[in-house]
């Protein structure tokens, strides 16, 4: 499968723990996006990368959230000191170019107890 891959697919953690999600984009896609989706809502923009450069991070995003794309290929999204409000589906998407189609992964579902 050459689509966008996300791991883990499901994560259950206790409040206060740190979690990390990984996204492997489609090969040679230089754009990579992270979104968060809660039930009944649209994908909420978190951050995006052009190759290894993080171009923007949502102003709504707490400093507990950090994302990296060290070699311009896979990306990680880390949430420190998780809170119950962080429970959501975390979606990764990649795109071959600016204003190109976003190809989404299956998502990583986070449940914070």
Partner 1 sequence: GENVEQHPSTLSVQEGDSAVIKCTYSDSASNYFPWYKQELGKRPQLIIDIRSNVGEKKDQRIAVTLNKTAKHFSLHITETQPEDSAVYFCAAGNDKIIFGKGTRLHILP
| CB of residue 8 to partner 1, shortest distance in Å | 16
**Residue 93 DSSP SS3:** strand
Binding status of residue 45 toward partner 1 by CB under 8 A: yes
Assess contact for 98 and 48: CB atoms under 8 A: no
CA Rg, the chain, in Å?
13
Kindly indicate which of the ranges 14-22, 32-40, 68-76, 77-85 contains the residues binding partner 1, using the contact rule CB under 8 A: 32-40
Q: Binding residues for partner 1, per CB under 8 A?
A: 33, 35, 40-45, 48, 55-56, 59, 91, 98-99, 101-102, 104-107
């Amino acid at each position: 499968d050459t689509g966008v891959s996300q791991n883990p697919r499901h994560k259950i953690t206790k409040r206060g723990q740190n979690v990390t999600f990984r996204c492997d984009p489609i090969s040679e896609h230089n754009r990579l996006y992270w979104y968060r989706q809660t039930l009944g809502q649209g994908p909420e923009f978190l951050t995006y990368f052009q190759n290894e450069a993080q171009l923007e991070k949502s102003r709504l995003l707490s400093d507990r959230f950090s994302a990296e794309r060290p070699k311009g290929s896979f990306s990680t999204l880390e949430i420190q000191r998780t809170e119950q409000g962080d429970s959501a589906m975390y979606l990764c998407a990649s795109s071959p170019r600016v204003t190109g189609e976003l190809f989404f992964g299956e998502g990583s579902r986070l449940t914070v107890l």
